[in-house]
Each structure stands twice: as structure tokens, then as C-alpha cells.
Amino acid sequence: MSKAPFRIELLQKQDRSAFDCGEPELNAYFHTRVSQDVRRNYATCFIAIDKTGDRIAGFYTLAMGSVSLGELPEDVVKRLPRYPQVPVVHLGRLAVDQKYQGQKLGGSLLADAIARSIESEIAAYAVVVDAKDENAVSFYEHFGFLPLSRSSKTLFLPISKAIKNLGNK
């Protein structure tokens, strides 16, 4: 059995009510709305379970999406085909319960989401994330994500770069 303190699995019927990441909007989404998104095939939701207490320690959501070619930086656009939309995997929300923050779980959830995007048989150019504030922007930048436009809180990481990053570990 794995010695990692968390296991990551698909959200099913687990009780989500105790989850608290410190951000009311993200908590409300996870407590009440995420199951509808999952049911309607608008998102998949993965959760990290604390193996010692069987408690939900973190979650993230994934969906297919696209961004307009013009939203990407010019030096990137130069190397892409001229289709108006660029296929991406959309990492909609990611959060860690306050009790577990600062223990590398956010980074592990992000790595898990990127790994699933790399392994998918459905092509995507990049993983795109919506950061809700500057703190979240700096979290994603820490892992090599780049802003779509100068003022944007939407960031992207090309899958090719993510694969290279893995190779350098």
C-alpha cells in the first residue's frame, strides 16, 4: 500500500460539508454546486482524502475547453496553427482545506491534474487555470504557468512544457 498520506480519487457520494479552504466562494461551490456540474458532465472532480481520518483534504475540477488564439502571447501564437480556437484542459477550481495547507497538497493536486491532462487520449495544447486573486496567480506561476494576457488572472501551461518539466525532475 502507498505510504503517501493522501489518496486522490473521483468525487462520489462523500460528505463535503466539513471542507473549508478559507475562501467562501470556493467552499460554497464545493459544498453545493460541484455535484451538479459532475452530473451534467460539465466537470470531473477529483478529491484528496486524508488516509488517516478519511476526511476530504482538497479537490480540483477538470473540463475540456478552448481559448481564442489571440489570447495567447504572440511568441507562442507564431508556432501554432491558424485555427481560431486552441484546445485546452480547463482546471476550473483547486483548493486545499486550511488544516492541510502548506503541506505540499496543493502542488500534488496540481501535478495530478497535469498528469491526467498529459495522459488523456484527447488532445489539448495546454492546461488553463482561473486564478481567483493575486495569491492564486502567484501559486500557479510558481509552477511555470504564464498569464494569457497582461491583466488576466487566467494562466496557461503548454502540455509540451509540462512534459519537459516532468523530465527534469
Ligand X SMILES: CC(C)(COP(=O)(O)OP(=O)(O)OC[C@H]1O[C@@H](n2cnc3c(N)ncnc32)[C@H](O)[C@@H]1OP(=O)(O)O)[C@@H](O)C(=O)NCCC(=O)NCCS
Q: Is 165 in the site for ligand X (CB under 6 A)?
A: no
CB 123 within 8 A of CB 87: yes
Scanning 8-16, 22-30, 111-119, 159-167 for contacts with ligand X by CB under 6 A, the matching segment is 22-30
List the one residue from 139, 155, 156, 162 that touches ligand X (CB under 6 A).
139
Shortest Cβ 29–ligand X spacing (Å): 10
CB closer to ligand X out of 33 and 80: 33
The CA distance from 167 to 118, in Å, is 13
Q: Is 104 in the site for ligand X (CB under 6 A)?
A: yes
Nearer to ligand X (CB atom), residue 67 or residue 93: 93
User: From CA 31, how far away is CA 34, in angstroms rounded?
Assistant: 7
Residue (of 68, 63, 131, 64) closest to 94 by Cα position: 131
Q: Report which of 117, 118, 56 is spatially closest to residue 92, judged by C-alpha positions.
A: 117
Q: Give CA–CA dist 60/21, Å, rounded.
A: 12
7 binds ligand X (CB under 6 A): no
Question: Using CB under 6 A as the criterion, which residues of the chain lie in contact with ligand X when the complex forms?
Answer: 21-23, 26, 94-96, 101-107, 131-132, 135-136, 138-139, 142
